[in-house]
Amino acid sequence: MDIGKFGLVQQFGVGLEKVDVAAATDRGIWVARLPGELSGNADSVAELAVLHLLALSRRLDDARQNLRDGRWTGPVGTSLSGQTVLIVGLGAIGHAVATRLAPFGVRLAGIRANPERGGPVAEIGGPADLHRLLGSADAVICAAMYDRSNAGMFDAAAFAAMRSGALFVNVARGGLVDEAALLAALDSGHVAGAGLDVFKGEPRPGPLARHPRVIATPHVGALTGHMLSQSAQLFARNIQRWADGQVPQWTVNHPPAPRRPLAP
């Protein structure tokens, strides 16, 4: 195989929702992502997920406001110890989240597309088990890979299935959540709080980001010096590999020979 005839789309990250993989494949172009477990992406995003969960559990925003208002009291938070946390998506980020939460003394459950692959959790299920496991969780962390098959998976029915007063954290993609349904669940108090790093309308996320029961960040989960350094090295190494005529690593397709010459 003459790799020189093939182009390459190399993503600086793990998400490929903005890449037309089918069109690239048809044109003889490789598409590659960076593995979250090697690039520092999973570690960094998992840390932010834990930050959001802790801030919600301990009502950090309320405590800071009390201090600003001169009230040296409350609020009463919730300890993670003994709580059940459901991680939806047990890829690299989900595994990293589980590793970081285990020392807090939580009970971990998980949802993944292929539950037979297991994971670092006490209970695991597939997509059909989502609503059942939502009902047993005190907190839910969404770390699922986004695609057309699971768009809007956290809809009104999913939030209704959650335990009353549960917390919700999303560090995956905004398209996984029906934002109107989450707003309604927050307004009713059924969902006690949400920690959101991602939104449908980025970079203009709308009213959900300003809700008093939401702790919001502007899609910064992966943005640490560790991730940028590790990712840059992997990115450059894979580009060089392709330039040297070798099949690139971490590809998501296997294109046939291009039907027409690539532009120089």
Shared domain for 124 and 207, answered yes or no, is: yes
79 neighbors 54 (Cβ within 8 angstroms): no
173, 204, 226, 241: which one is catalytic?
173
Tell me how far apart the alpha carbons of residues 234 and 40 are, in angstroms, rounded to a whole number.
10
- Per-residue HEC secondary structure of 205-218 comes to CCHHHHCCCEEECC
202, 204, 211, 259: which one is catalytic?
202
How many structural domains are present in the chain? 2
Q: Tell me, yes or no, if 254 is annotated catalytic.
A: no
Mean pLDDT on 147-172: 96
**What is the predicted pLDDT for the residue at 148?**
85
Check the CA dihedral 39-41-44-47 and report its sign.
Answer: negative
Shared domain for 161 and 261, answered yes or no, is: no
Shared domain for 100 and 16, answered yes or no, is: no
**What is the predicted pLDDT for the residue at 122?**
98
DSSP 102-160: GGGT-EEEEE-S-GGG--SSSEEE-GGGHHHHHTT-SEEEE-PPP-GGGTT-B-HHHHH
58, 219, 226, 241: which one is catalytic?
219
Check: pTM over 0.85? Answer yes or no: yes
List 174's β-bridge partners, or say none: none
- Show the CA angle centred on residue 181, arms to residues 178 and 183, nearest 5°: 110
DSSP 158-216: HHHHSPTTEEEEE-S-GGGB-HHHHHHHHHHTSEEEEEES--TTTT---GGGG-TTEEE
Shared domain for 70 and 175, answered yes or no, is: yes
214 neighbors 193 (Cβ within 8 angstroms): yes
pLDDT in tens, 107-129: 999 999 999 999 999 999 999 99
Q: What percent of the chain has pLDDT over 70?
A: 95
pLDDT in tens, 83-107: 999 999 999 999 999 999 999 999 9
Q: Tell me, yes or no, if 173 is annotated catalytic.
A: yes
Shared domain for 63 and 162, answered yes or no, is: yes
Shared domain for 140 and 55, answered yes or no, is: yes
**What is the predicted pLDDT for the residue at 1?**
52
- Residue bearing the bigger pLDDT, 262 or 85: 85
Shared domain for 142 and 207, answered yes or no, is: yes
Shared domain for 91 and 168, answered yes or no, is: yes
Backbone angles phi, psi at 248, to 5 degrees: -65, 155
Q: Write out the residue range of the structural domain in which residue 249 sits.
A: 1-39+225-264
Tell me how far apart the alpha carbons of residues 38 and 42 are, in angstroms, rounded to a whole number.
8
Shared domain for 29 and 111, answered yes or no, is: no
45 neighbors 171 (Cβ within 8 angstroms): yes
Q: Does position 44 have pLDDT exceeding 70, yes or no?
A: yes
**What is the predicted pLDDT for the residue at 18?**
87
Q: Assign residue 209 the CATH number of its domain.
A: 3.40.50.720
List the end-to-end C-alpha distance of the chain, in Å, as a whole number.
19
Shared domain for 47 and 23, answered yes or no, is: no
Mean pLDDT on 13-37: 93
Q: Tell me, yes or no, if 210 is annotated catalytic.
A: no
Shared domain for 158 and 248, answered yes or no, is: no
Q: In what order do the strands lie in the sheet with 107-111?
A: 123-125, 107-111, 84-88, 139-142, 166-170, 191-196, 214-216
Shared domain for 209 and 229, answered yes or no, is: no
Tell me how far apart the alpha carbons of residues 153 and 147 are, in angstroms, rounded to a whole number.
11
Q: Does position 196 have pLDDT exceeding 60, yes or no?
A: yes
**What is the predicted pLDDT for the residue at 5?**
65
Confidence grade of residue 256 (pLDDT, cut at 50, 70, 90): confident
Confidence grade of residue 3 (pLDDT, cut at 50, 70, 90): low
Q: Does position 264 have pLDDT exceeding 70, yes or no?
A: no
Average pLDDT over the chain, rounded to whole?
94
C-alpha 228: how far from chain center: 17
